[in-house]
Structure 1
Amino acid sequence: MPKNKGKGGKNRKRGKNEAEDEKRELVFKEDGQEYAQVLRMLGNGRCEALCIDGTKRLCHIRGKMHKKVWIASGDIILVGLRDYQDDKADVILKYQPDEARLLKAYGELPENVRLNEGNALEVGCPKIIRAFRD
């Protein structure tokens, strides 16, 4: 019989996010980087994102974020642009909803960007909102 060499199974690996509640410092873009909004997830560690400069790019989620930081459509991300491929980029960071609101307040994101705050009631159903208020 084989000896168990690891420290546990997949359930042990699941509970690694202890530092989720901590506030982190807001990261602004540098040269060679751009803000983007995820249009759709493609699978295989890739997504399609619309950058603030108006270009639609195929973005690759880097290995440090893969299976640790979950990215969904509508999220604001920071991408690193490639010198040799203009239509592809690499995801560097995913902004939390409050960080994205701060970026918009600082003027880093344009006013026409719709932030997905995670509350589906505010995004598309004004009749339901009125029903809850009454």
Structure 2
Amino acid sequence: MSDDGEGGRKNLRMPEEDEVFATVTNMLGANRVTVRCADGKERTARIPGKMQKRIWIREDDVVLVEPWDWQDEKADITWRYEKSDADQLRREGHIQ
């Protein structure tokens, strides 16, 4: 294992202009979850088909969501952070 001099800091995927950080608060079933977004809104987010069997999403996971532009209370999940990556985002002040 090599240390890059910053205590193991990794370059993480950051939100693009239409994405926000969110935390999963409730599993609803049927590939849907409730998320609390960094912009203060609570949305129903959809787990897209390409993530369903490959990436397991659980409560308290930190994810990136892309809110729907035609229906603001819904969103699509675009990325899930590992626990260590979420801890790094908290340390760097990107999320609470």
Q: Please, what TM-score do these two structures have when normalized by structure 2?
A: 0.85
Secondary structure, aligned partner of 1:64 = helix
Kindly tell me the number of residue pairs found equivalent between the two proteins.
Answer: 87
- 2:23 aligns with 37
Secondary structure, aligned partner of 2:53 = coil
- 2:12 aligns with 26
Instruction: Answer 1 or 2: which has greater strand percent.
Output: 2
- 1:102 aligns with 88
Shift of 1:106: 1.7
Match for 2:43 among 57, 64, 72? Answer: 57
Match for 2:69 among 80, 83, 105? Answer: 83
CA deviation digits over 1:60-115, x for unaligned, max 9? 001110121111111100001111110000000110001001111221103xxxxx
Bigger Cα Rg: 1
Identify the structure with bigger relative contact order (alpha carbons < 8 Å, sequence gap 6+).
Answer: 2
Specify every segment of 5 or more residues in structure 2 that has no aligned partner in the other structure, as ranges: 1-9
Q: CA RMSD in A?
A: 1.2
Distance 1:80 1:57 in 2: 10
- 1:69 aligns with 55
Specify every segment of 5 or more residues in structure 1 that has no aligned partner in the other structure, as ranges: 1-23, 111-134
Q: Please, what TM-score do these two structures have when normalized by structure 1?
A: 0.62
Letter in 1 for 2:57: I
Q: Percent identity?
A: 37
Instruction: Answer 1 or 2: which has greater helix percent.
Output: 1
